[in-house]
Amino acid sequence: MKQARHILKTIFGYDDFRHHQADIIDALIQGQDVLTLMPTGGGKSICYQIPALIRSGTAIVVSPLIALMQDQVDALKQLGVKAAFLNSTQHAGEQREVEEELRSGELDLLYMAPERLLNGQMLQMLDRCQISLFAIDEAHCVSQWGHDFRKEYQQLSMLHERYPDVPRIALTATADARTRGEIIEQLALQQAMVFVNSFDRPNIHYAISEAGNGREALWRFLSQQHPEDTGIVYCLSRKNVEATAEWLNAKGRIALPYHAGLAQDVRSRNQQRFLREDGLIIVATIAFGMGIDKPDVRFVAHMNLPKNIESYYQETGRAGRDGMASDAWMSYGLQDVINLRLFIDKSDAEEQFKRVMLQKTDAMLGLCELTRCRRQALLAYFDEAMSEPCGNCDNCINPPQTWDATIAAQKVLSCVYRTDQRFGAQYVIDILTGKSNERMARNGHDKLSTFAIGAEHSGPEWRGIFRQLIAHGYLVADTEGYGVLKLTPKAWPLLKRDCSESVQLRQLSKPAASRQKKTKFTAASNLTDVEQTLFEALRTLRARLAKEQNVPPYVIFSDKTLSAMAVAQPQTPGQLLDVSGVGEAKLARYGDAFLGEITASA
């Protein structure tokens, strides 16, 4: 561990380990298998990178997305680490060069996708090499219950059988108790040491609101809190991705689309621009984001309801990897609730799988309709207790009001029943608010006793009530694809007035006031004017150097490191080496340039 601490300082530029990093590294150095759960931005990669530099041989890193290997390898090369990747983006000559480096023992780390690792020819090559360890990143992909299931991951248990003396580390930022159990079972990690760090990301502010006009709500959020910041906007469909990106561009923000329907070269180009440019917004389906290392993503916005809490946690975790204040913002509505349930009900999955997925959807809906601290509920889902409310979510900052909606709920259930449970929400709302039309007159529903009995609420208010009644289990959408609402067993006692319990719903909220904070969210938020000027000069220098080398700026130095330079204003190489994030390789490569900029700005 003395050598590990030396590497941490001289190569990575950090003085201390975080979370359970030291224990994990020690276990791997000793040859132990490890399962590690650590939040995004918590420093998972160091847990296998340092042992890879200490143990003899090459570390094989299994990564699910080839698009991200380039940046991970670029970052390691900046540190002077001998790293490479093997994937289908390379031509045959490049692949042969990497394979030769592997055979000759020149590599510290080699990244590849599980499909390539499982190839018989690759395994035969590894049989003839010295392997220091196997790192299985994004290990939750092994779980059929999870949100990123990859069947190839379930075959990785063969590593234990084929290379019994090579330690393995499985890493993930997202796994509930069921998924953890499946990782252990599927990867044969029964003897592994398990390290579960806190899932809390205290720098992220969580906010969830009902969708009125979702785009206008998004624009208010961006204008008030992130007018110039880098961020991700998630949409449910490819069509909405492209329309939202076009709309944002028309509003004056640089926004690029990303979804599986785009040509591979377009997706790759847009992702690279997002990683390398400041202030850019990527609008994407959930096909985008796994393993994104960009540290200065200041917000993640969801325009639709994620299918489960694991997805929500992982996607929002792409914000604020540098530990600086960031936002997880979501707008969702009644149709999201209906669509999620319909998607599960209509799938060809086995009934047990459907039940689990519905339970996960219910947990996600519960988080949305919650009236207490969202962070406490989010952590509780991952079996972590938080004793006090966080003070950094919308419910803590602006506690929601509840109201007795028993009579309103009875009106809804009665109207659904009297229309023979054959219509969707909007039709029933029209009856409740007394909006007759030709179809309604033809059905005779404008003569029902429930016609116009709900004039005390507007259409949008009734939609919020319907959404919450579905979330609370009084109504369910059918499986025919038309969103027809039906009563559940829970509804009948309320409809017949056989229950004494009242129905408490969230008061329908107005657009939330933005929390008090500075307009611009950067690592330089607390700098003096002089320090801020130096910080911007250092960022300009970094951008120029990154462009020259065709790498993302953050692999040179993070904003956090540049901010520390602006405060410390080191004058000598030794003083620059004392700044967190500056190791010897980067000092040798960039020390003169950054010291020169600091001197020139004095």
- DSSP-derived 3-state class of residue 194: strand
**Is 556 a member of any domain?**
yes
Same domain, 162 and 48: yes
Phi-psi region of 290 (alpha: psi -120 to 50; beta: other; left: phi over 0): beta
Same domain, 243 and 146: no
**Is 519 a member of any domain?**
no
C-alpha–C-alpha distance, residues 431 and 297, integer Å: 46
- Specify the residue for token string 């990859």: 150
**Is 137 a member of any domain?**
yes
Domain end, chosen from 368, 397, 426, is at: 397
pLDDT at 244 over 50: yes
Residue 264: CA atoms inside 13 Å, Cβ hemisphere, count?
A: 4
The closest of 579, 581, 583, 576 to 558, measured between CA atoms, is: 581
**What average pLDDT does this structure show over 373-391?**
91
C-alpha–C-alpha distance, residues 486 and 184, integer Å: 40
Reported as a single tens digit per residue, the pLDDT across 426-460 is 899 999 999 988 999 999 999 999 999 999 998 88
CA angle 514, 517, 520 (to 5 degrees): 105
Reported as a single tens digit per residue, the pLDDT across 116-130 is 999 999 999 999 999
Q: What percent of the chain has pLDDT over 70?
A: 94
Same domain, 235 and 344: yes
**What does the block give as tokens for 535?**
């910080």
The closest of 7, 17, 20, 10 to 52, measured between CA atoms, is: 7
Reported as a single tens digit per residue, the pLDDT across 459-510 is 888 988 998 888 788 888 765 546 788 899 999 999 888 777 788 888 865 5
**Is 513 a member of any domain?**
no
Same domain, 350 and 482: no
**What average pLDDT does this structure show over 272-278?**
88
pLDDT at 546 over 70: yes
Task: Please write down the HEC assignment for all residues of 274-290.
Answer: HHHCCCCEEEECCCCCC
Range in 273-277, 506-510, 520-524, 550-554 the model is least confident about = 520-524
Reported as a single tens digit per residue, the pLDDT across 220-243 is 999 999 999 999 999 988 999 999
pLDDT of residue 146: 57
pLDDT of residue 101: 95
Reported as a pLDDT band with limits 50, 70 and 90, residue 519 is: very low
233 near 303, Cβ under 8 Å? yes
Same domain, 181 and 215: no
**What average pLDDT does this structure show over 81-91?**
91
Highest mean pLDDT among 63-72, 178-187, 211-220: 178-187
**Is 518 a member of any domain?**
no
**What average pLDDT does this structure show over 336-341?**
78
**Rg of the chain over all Cα atoms, to the nearest angstrom:** 27
Domain end, chosen from 196, 222, 241, is at: 196
pLDDT of residue 77: 93
**Is 487 a member of any domain?**
yes
pLDDT at 215 over 60: yes
**What average pLDDT does this structure show over 502-527?**
60
**Is 258 a member of any domain?**
yes
| CATH number of domain containing 562 | 1.10.150.80
- DSSP-derived 3-state class of residue 487: strand
Per DSSP bridges, beta strands 485-487 and 475-477 are antiparallel
Same domain, 95 and 215: no
Same domain, 368 and 299: yes
Range of the domain at 587: 529-601
Q: What is the dihedral of CA 329, 312, 33, 59, to 10 degrees?
A: -70
pLDDT of residue 482: 61
C-alpha–C-alpha distance, residues 439 and 239, integer Å: 31
Give the chain's mean pLDDT: 88
pLDDT at 517 over 50: no
Same domain, 238 and 368: yes
Domain end, chosen from 196, 225, 258, is at: 196
Number of domains in the chain: 4
Same domain, 231 and 261: yes
**Is 276 a member of any domain?**
yes
| CATH number of domain containing 236 | 3.40.50.300
C-alpha–C-alpha distance, residues 437 and 430, integer Å: 9
Reported as a pLDDT band with limits 50, 70 and 90, residue 514 is: very low
Same domain, 415 and 456: yes
pLDDT of residue 525: 59
Same domain, 157 and 213: no
Reported as a pLDDT band with limits 50, 70 and 90, residue 42 is: confident
**What does the block give as tokens for 237?**
């469909």
Same domain, 282 and 162: no
C-alpha–C-alpha distance, residues 294 and 318, integer Å: 8
pLDDT at 516 over 90: no
How far, in whole angstroms, is CA 376 from its chain's centroid? Answer: 18
pLDDT of residue 518: 38
**CA 36 to each of CA 44, 171, 301: distance values in angstroms, whole numbers, following the listed order:** 8, 5, 28
470 near 337, Cβ under 8 Å? yes
227 near 298, Cβ under 8 Å? no
C-alpha–C-alpha distance, residues 424 and 477, integer Å: 8
